[in-house]
Amino acid sequence: MLLQPGTGLPEFTGHAVQINESVFIVEADLDTLRWLAEYPSVVYVEAPRPMGEDLDTSVPATKANVLSSPPSGGAALTGLGVVVGFVDRGGMDWKLEDFQVNGHTRILAIWDQSLRPVGTEKSPAAYGYGVEYDKTTIDGDLAGGPPLRHRCNPGSHATHVAGIAVGNGSSTGPNPAGGVFPAAKYVGVATNADIIYVEAVKIPGTTLTSSDRVAEAIKYIFEKAGKRPCVVNVSLGNNGGAHDSESVVERTIDRMLEANGRVLVKSAGNEVDWDCHAVVVLTAGDPRCTLEWQFGRSGRHDRTPNELELWSSSRDRFRIWVEHPQGSSLVTSKIIPGADDTQRFPLGNEIVTVSSQRFHPLNGASYVHIHVDSAQAGATLSSGVWKVCIEAHDPSNIKDGRIDAWIERDLRDAANNYADQSLFRNFVAADGTLNPPGTIRRGITVGNYDHLGGAGVSASGRGPTRDGRNKPDLVAPGFRVWSSGALGNQPNPAGGAGAVFAVRVEKTGTSMSAPHVTGVCAQLLEAFPAISSAQMGATLVAAASALAPSTSFDNQLGFGLIDAKEADTALR
C-alpha cells in the first residue's frame, strides 16, 4: 500500500508492517481493504503477486577465484565482514559443513516465514509472523541441543543457490554415480561471508510465494546486517506488472538500495520458454487483433485461476472482450481502459473479472487485468483457447498502438503436465520476458550463460524493460552447476538400505547465475564497503566481457559475462 509521504496509516483492525515512510504491507478483510483504498492519504493499493523459483568450473568462469586467491600475493577477497542474504524457498541446510567454520555456523539468522512459533520460539518482533532462529540457536542444534524446526527439501533450491554464493566447499560424501564428492572442489565465491536466510512463505495450494513477503524479507536482512555491508540474492520472480520498476514492491526495493553498502542481485528468470509474454501493435490499417490464451494441455485440465495483464500507452483507448473456448462471449459495456473500473461476468462455467484504469497512479500507463476463475469451488477451468479480442476505439487516431500482455506465473506441476500454467498461442514475444522485480532500477539483474558451451542461453529471461531500459545487466554461469545439496549425507529413505542424499547436486537456470554475481558483490563489498548499489552495478557492467557480436547491449546477454577481476581493478 502506497501512501502520501508523511501521512501515516489510518487505524484499522488488521496486521500492518511499515516498510518505509510511504509503503505499508497490510493484511485485512476485503471490506477493510476497500475502506483503506478510499482513504484520502492512500495513493494506491497493490495486491501481492505470486513469485516462484526462477561449481567447480562455473566460479573460475567468473574470475571470482582470482580475487579469493590472488596470484600476486595480494589480499584475498572472500567476503569477510560482509553479510550475504538469501530470499528463497526449499530450506537452508545449516547442517552442511559448507556453511560452517570450525564446527560453528556462519548463519547469523534464519527467518522461516512459513512456521508458527511453539514453545520458546519467537517471530521477528517487527513482523509478527514466522519463526526466527539466531546464530546461538543454530549452533546449539549443531552441538546436539534443541533441534530447529526449519526443514529442507532434498536438493533444495535455496541451499544450492547459497552454496554457489557463499559455500566453502567443505562438505564431502558419497557420489551416487560412484566414488565421493571431494572437499575443496565445489567451492563457492564468498567463502568467509556471513549468511542470513529467509524462507519465503508459501501461498496455500501452490509452490509460490508472494511479492509482499519478499519485500519484507529483504528489509529484514538489511536490518539484521546493521552497519555491515550486505548483498541480498533474490532468485524468485513473477510475470505480472508493468515491467518498468514502478510497482509498489519494486519502488520499495529501490528505496532500500539508496543507502551505501546495500546491494541486491536478482535473477532474470527463465520465462522465455513459457510463452507468457505477447506483443500486439494496432495500426490504422489493422486496428483489431485477437490474443489466443491457452488453458490446459495434452488432456490435462487447468486447476487454478488464470490472470492476464495488458499494458499500453494511455494515449490510446480500445475495447476489449473475452470469448470462451465453447463459443460464448462477453463484451464490455465501456471503452477500456476507462476510468478505474471493475466488471465481473459469468461466462460458461467461469467467472471473468476485468479491471481497467487508463491513467495508472504509479506510472500513468493504461492497464487492464483479466482474471478467470471457476464459478464452482474446486472445479477445473474449461480447456482450450480463450480469446482476448482487442479493438481500437478510434482506428483513425491510434497514437502508439503497442500493447504488452503478460500471463501471471502459476502452479507448475510436472505431474499435471504443467497444464495449470496458461500460455499464449500467438503474438508471443521472447523480448520483455524478464520477471519482476528484475526490472528494478538499482538492483543488478543477471541472465544465464552456458560456460560449458552446450545448450546456450535460450531459457534466460530477456530485456529490455517495458520502458526501454537495458536489462539484464550481465550474465553469469547457470548451466549444469554443481553446488550444495540439502540433506547431504542424511538418510535417503527412497534409496534403499544405507542410502544417503548427495552433498552435491546439479541445477540449471538463472537462479544459479544470480548467486555467482552475489558472491562477487560480497567480495567487492569487503574491499569497498561503502559502495552503492548503483556503483556496483555500473562497475560490473563496465568490467563485463562482451559476448554479443558487438560491444553493445544484448537483450539476452546484457553487457556481457561477469569478470570479477576486471571489476576489482576498475574500482582501485
Q: DSSP for 451-501?
A: TTSSSTTTTS-----TT------EEEE-SSEEEE-TTBTSB-GGG-TT-BB
Residue 240's pLDDT is 84
Torsion sign across C-alpha atoms 398, 462, 91, 492: positive
- In this predicted structure, the answer to whether residue 80 has a pLDDT above a threshold of 60 is yes
- CA neighbor of 195 nearest in space, from 478, 484, 473, 441: 484
Q: 510 or 458, which is more confident?
A: 510
* Level-2 CATH architecture, domain 276-424: Sandwich (2.60)
Residue 494's pLDDT is 84
∠ Cα 234 240 241 (to 5°): 95
Cα distances (angstroms) measured from residue 100 to each of 81, 170, 332, 438, 512: 15, 8, 60, 31, 21
| Cβ 87 vs Cβ 236: under 8 Å | yes
- CA neighbor of 96 nearest in space, from 179, 178, 197, 200: 197
Collect all residues with Cβ–Cβ distance below 8 Å to 457 and sequence separation of at least 6.
447, 448, 449, 450, 475, 556, 557
Q: Could you please report the per-residue DSSP string of 245-299?
A: S-SHHHHHHHHHTTSTTEEEEEE--SGGGGT-EEEEE--SSS-EEEEEEEE-BTT
What are the residue ranges spanned by the domains of the chain?
A: 2-45, 52-125+151-272+435-571, 276-424
Instruction: Look up residue 519 and give its three cell numbers.
Output: 558472491
| Cβ 291 vs Cβ 405: under 8 Å | yes
In this prediction, residue 37 has a pLDDT band, given cuts at 50, 70 and 90, of: low
Average pLDDT over residues 92-109: 97
In this prediction, residue 342 has a pLDDT band, given cuts at 50, 70 and 90, of: confident
Residue 97's pLDDT is 97
Mean pLDDT of the chain: 89
| Cβ 67 vs Cβ 77: under 8 Å | yes
φ, ψ for residue 87, nearest 5 deg: -115, 115
Instruction: Look up residue 178 and give its three cell numbers.
Output: 560412484
Instruction: Look up residue 332 and give its three cell numbers.
Output: 464490455
| Cβ 147 vs Cβ 141: under 8 Å | yes
Average pLDDT over residues 379-392: 95
Cα distances (angstroms) measured from residue 380 to each of 295, 306, 550: 10, 11, 49
Average pLDDT over residues 241-270: 92
Work out the percent of the chain whose per-residue pLDDT is above 90: 67
Average pLDDT over residues 102-109: 97
- In this predicted structure, the answer to whether residue 52 has a pLDDT above a threshold of 50 is no
- In this predicted structure, the answer to whether residue 429 has a pLDDT above a threshold of 50 is yes
- CA neighbor of 446 nearest in space, from 52, 48, 54: 54
Residue 54's pLDDT is 38
Q: Point out the least confidently predicted range of 278-287, 408-417, 512-521, 523-532.
A: 408-417
Q: What's the CA gap between 423 and 55, in Å, rounded? A: 34
φ, ψ for residue 530, nearest 5 deg: -100, 5
- In this predicted structure, the answer to whether residue 451 has a pLDDT above a threshold of 50 is yes
Q: 501 or 240, which is more confident?
A: 501
Average pLDDT over residues 40-46: 64
In this prediction, residue 263 has a pLDDT band, given cuts at 50, 70 and 90, of: very high
In this prediction, residue 381 has a pLDDT band, given cuts at 50, 70 and 90, of: very high
383: helix, strand or coil? coil
Whole-structure pTM value? 0.88
Residue 72's pLDDT is 60
Q: What's the CA gap between 440 and 258, in Å, rounded? A: 12
User: Which residues share a beta bridge with 343?
Assistant: 354
Q: What's the CA gap between 240 and 369, in Å, rounded? A: 10
Q: 348 or 341, which is more confident?
A: 348
Q: What's the CA gap between 336 and 467, in Å, rounded? A: 21
| Cβ 81 vs Cβ 229: under 8 Å | yes
Right CATH for 52-125+151-272+435-571 from 3.40.50.300, 3.40.50.720, 3.40.50.200, 3.20.20.60: 3.40.50.200
Q: Point out the least confidently predicted range of 44-58, 122-136, 150-164, 206-220.
A: 44-58
Q: What's the CA gap between 227 and 451, in Å, rounded? A: 36
In this prediction, residue 423 has a pLDDT band, given cuts at 50, 70 and 90, of: very high
In this prediction, residue 207 has a pLDDT band, given cuts at 50, 70 and 90, of: very low
